[in-house]
Amino acid sequence: MKKFGGEVLLLDRDNINTDEIIPAKYLTEITKEALKPHLLEDLQLKGFDPQSKALADAKVVLTRNNFGCGSSREHAPWAFEINGINAIVAEGFARIFRQNMLNCGMLPIELPKKEITALSKLARQGKAKMSFDLKQQKLTLKAGGRSRAVAFELNDFATKLIKAGGWVAYADTVY
């Protein structure tokens, strides 16, 4: 199982798409390693710098709705994975992106809009860190000396994929 939790990167915008996460020109790469320097290279977001330390340090992304919309390219979750970001907390995901994350044993968490807003507000209070308790289905955000704990839901199938380390390993055991 992958490790989840650590420094939080806030990407405060709806509809961040796969072409922004990893542009198509890198899709001829055949290793995940080659995607590493290009994560979020084309992201249009005020104040965001793809070369920043905030991205380099991040272990968790906190974002808005329809995250990962567009292409089916698994290169998008891979680009996060190879940069050490295994958990993404959003108001919502595009279907293929969400399934791709689970298939890689990564952690996609969906929370209601007002909860994302509250977490975003807190994450701006200083260096933000998030931890996850998969058993209790609870996450905790700590920033600026304050903390906020939130319950999340993950269905049984998602939990099994994460525990197995992804869909190939799970499918090969079960089917």
Partner 1 sequence: MKKPRTLAQKVFDAHRIDTPCEGMSVLRVDRVFCHEITTPMAITDLMARKMDKVFDRRKIMAVIDHVTPAKDTKSAIQGKVLRDWARRHKLPHWFDIGENGICHAIFPEKGFVRPGMTVIMGDSHTCTHGAFGAFAAGVGTTDLEVGILKGICAFREPKAIKVVLKGRLRKPVSAKDVVLRVIKELTVKGAIDCVIEFTGPVVEKMSMEARMTMCNMAIEAGGTSGICMPDAVTVDYLWPFIKKDFKNKAAAVKAYSRWHSDPGAVYEKVLTINVSELQPQMTVGYKPDEVVDVAKMAGTPVDQVYIGSCTNGRIEDLRAAAAIIKGKKISPRVRAIVSPATPEIFKQANKEGLIDIFMHSGFCVTNPTCGACLGMSNGILAPGEACASTTNRNFNGRMGQGGMVYLMSPATAAATAIAGKIADPGATKSWKKK
In the complex, the residues that contact partner 1 under the rule CB under 8 A are 14-15, 17, 19-20, 23-25, 27-30, 42, 44, 65-66, 69-74, 77, 92, 94-96, 99-100, 103-104, 155-157, 160, 166-168, 171-172, 174-175
In whole angstroms, give the CA distance from residue 109 to residue 138. Answer: 10
Nearer Cβ to partner 1 (2/160): 160
Which of 137, 136, 131 minimizes the C-alpha distance to 111?
137
In whole angstroms, give the CA distance from residue 44 to residue 161. Answer: 32
Shortest distance in whole angstroms from residue 132 CB to partner 1: 20
Nearer Cβ to partner 1 (28/51): 28
Nearer Cβ to partner 1 (131/167): 167
Nearer Cβ to partner 1 (103/131): 103
Which of 84, 93, 86, 73 minimizes the C-alpha distance to 29?
73
> 8 has which bridge partners?
60
